[in-house]
Amino acid sequence: MVVVIAANPLSFLHSLRPRHLGPSFATSFGSPNAFMAASSLPSCPKRLRNPFSYPCQVHNQAAHSLPPHKKEIFKSMEDWVQKNVLIYLKPVEKCWQPQDLLPDSNSEEFYMKIKEIREKAKEIPDDYFVALVGDMITEEALPTYQTMLNTGDGVRDETGASPTSWAVWIRAWTSEENRHGDLLNKYLYLSGRVDMKKIEKTTQYLIGSGMDPMTENNPYLLFIYTSFQERATFISHGNTANLAMKYGDKELAKLCGTIAADEKRHEIAYTKIIEKLFEIDPDGTILAFADMMKKKIIMPAHMMFDGQDENLFQHYSTVAQRLGVYTAKDYNDILECKVSKWNVEKLTGLSSEGRRAQDYVCGLVPKFRKLEEKVAMRAKRAPTIPLSWIFYRQV
């Protein structure tokens, strides 16, 4: 998952919003005004005096909304996960490692290779580095994402080394993801273009802050979230690869493209889990989908902070939007892709609540499409700001 990156169309319009929100899964698809209410909340209502995290408070967090009888569904999926999900993991011996894509420090050519990296990096604009740093910090907050998955009722790794298929997936997925932040971190360190201490501090704050995707310990909500998020990271790393190529840095393009390929595999796995849940429990799954969309898929690094800039995530998102690394259009494309993949329009046999959820979800893409241009214009017109990650140069 993790999970890069950037933002949904509404985050550009409303900036960071507090997590007061929304109806829980249990009451899920209720108020038609929830969308508007969530959007109009003031940001950062209460300052925290906590030196370990982002200085805004997270409110009213719902928990354990999965009804006990639905926990059984996840138990009964054990074998299916073994045969249909674990196949999207790669055996460690077949995996790439950061060292495969970076200069070998034991080699005679080490210094020369670093010089080459730095010469190429000089040709790349600052806004690209801001997007890449944001992606890296998001990857580096991996402890939070493993924690999130282990909040899931019926799927969590109960012991830390549980043999269940769900637990095997969570640990192996985490271990694959661990290479992403590691690789980007080492590249950025060698590039000589960014302020590593400020970046490291941002990562420490972010892990200390955690995240609040409003998934309520509920694996329906969790896996809808990860299905989206993995595709978002696939798109974002893919775009940083394309841009690196445009700037003439093939090695950097390969590095970002290699990470993107992992994200794609992860996306397929999570999307399959939801596909299966639609088969087993169409009503529960469409309600969960609508609930997540009402809350909006917030990005995992939404509580990013460098010790100074309380709107750091918004600033990074604006740069990513402007540069085309991750845009409001991408968010809508992801939604459209999932609606089509899960055949949402053609679901049958739903309860009346389920049908309302179906209509709601199907109506979102055209609604969001209308906002895309507005978001792009707003990002284009946003004033440049100095960012600590690049020694306060303006982007």
Residues 301, 81: Cα–Cα separation, whole Å:
28
Angle at 79 (CA atoms; ends 75, 81), nearest 5 degrees: 85
Provide the terminal-to-terminal Cα distance of the chain, rounded to the nearest Å: 27
DSSP 47: B
Q: Is 230 annotated as a binding residue?
A: yes
Are 173 and 142 in contact by the 8 Å Cβ rule? The answer is no
Closest CA to 223 of 74, 105, 327, 83: 74
Min separation Cβ 135 and Fe ion, Å: 9
The nearest distance, CB 2 to Fe ion, in angstroms, is 5
Question: What are the catalytic residues?
Answer: 96, 139, 177, 180, 230, 233, 262-263, 266
Write down the least CB distance from residue 230 to Fe ion, Å: 5
User: Please, what's the b/e burial string for 1-18 (b: 16 or more CB within 10 A of its CB; e: otherwise)?
Assistant: bbbbbbbbbbbbebbbbb
For Fe ion, the closer of residues 231 and 329 by Cβ is: 231
Identity of the residue, 205 or 234, whose beta carbon is nearer to Fe ion in the bound complex: 234
Q: Of 5 and 287, which CB lies nearer to Fe ion in the complex structure?
A: 5
What are the φ/ψ torsions at residue 91 (nearest 5 degrees)? -55, 140
Shortest distance (Å) from residue 227 CB to Fe ion: 11
What residue ranges bind Fe ion (CB under 5 A)?
A: 1-2, 139, 177, 180, 230, 263, 266
139 is in an annotated binding site: yes
> Does residue 5 have a cis peptide bond before it, meaning omega lies within 30 degrees of 0?
yes
Q: Is 315 annotated as a binding residue?
A: no
For Fe ion, the closer CB: 136 or 303: 136
137 exposure class (CB count in 10 Å sphere: 0-12, 13-18, 19+): buried
Residue 266, annotated as binding a ligand = yes
Query: Residues forming the annotated binding site for Fe cation?
Result: 139, 177, 180, 230, 263, 266
